[in-house]
Amino acid sequence: MSNKHDHDLHHKASAHHLKAAHHFEAAAKHQIEAAKADDKDDEVAAAHHGYLSYGHQIQAIHFAEMAAKEDEAADHADVDHK
């Protein structure tokens, strides 16, 4: 059973996981659009979607790292407070 502090940390982690998932999904969609543009030899659209995908990937990794830190903080709190 977790205490309120752990619950709050896991709740924050959950929000970060969802934000990471949103950005990973957006990155994937832009990669698909970049691939379609490359198939049509549309270098401008391919570059544009590739750039947008990269930005979403950076945001996704940032939120995933924040989620991991929140989960790790809850794990450490368990060790510290037993």
Residue 29: what pLDDT? 98
pLDDT in tens, the chain (82 residues): 468 877 888 889 999 999 999 999 999 999 999 999 999 999 999 999 999 999 999 999 999 999 999 988 886 655 544 4
Cβ atoms within 10 Å of 60's Cβ, excluding its own: 20
- Which amino acid appears at position 32 of this protein? I
Q: State the total domains in the chain.
A: 1
Structural domain boundaries enclosing 41: 4-80
> What is the CB neighbour count within 10 angstroms for residue 19?
17
pLDDT of residue 9: 84
